Amino acid sequence: MMKTWQVGPYHDEWVVIVHADTRGQARAKGATVDGGDLIDMRAIRVPDLDGKLVTNETLRDAGFPETWEGEKLDAYGYIIDCGCDVCKASLREAQERRGKQELIQVIHDGLVS
């Protein structure tokens, strides 16, 4: 099982979740996000997410903030699909959830208009 890491630049606020065996691999994956500089990337272990899908629930359980700059926690924003099966499954889950929310919104809008 690959280890779970939270990766982001030292001088910026954003982080993403990647899976890698080593810190170096995790930083390299993070550096692909923003054309970022590998030197600038830091990777922090998130053992609470090891072996788990990246969802709103697991992120919350791992201590991620419920809201960030007014935006509600959304696992979708943390998944970059680092190429592993966990990310693929997490992305599917996040997209399905988003799809359902949009559908509910469409139905709701239809009812009120």
Nearer CB in complex with Zn ion: 19/27:
19
Per residue, the 3-state secondary structure of 13-71, as one string, reads: CCCEEEEECCHHHHHHHHHCCCCCCHHHEEEEECHHHCCCCCCHHHHHHCCCCCEECCE
Smallest gap from Cβ 86 to Zn ion, in A, equals 5
Using Cβ positions, the residue closest to Zn ion within the complex turns out to be 87
Nearer CB in complex with Zn ion: 75/87:
87
Smallest gap from Cβ 13 to Zn ion, in A, equals 21
Q: Which residues bind Zn ion (CB under 5 A)?
A: 19, 82, 84, 86-87
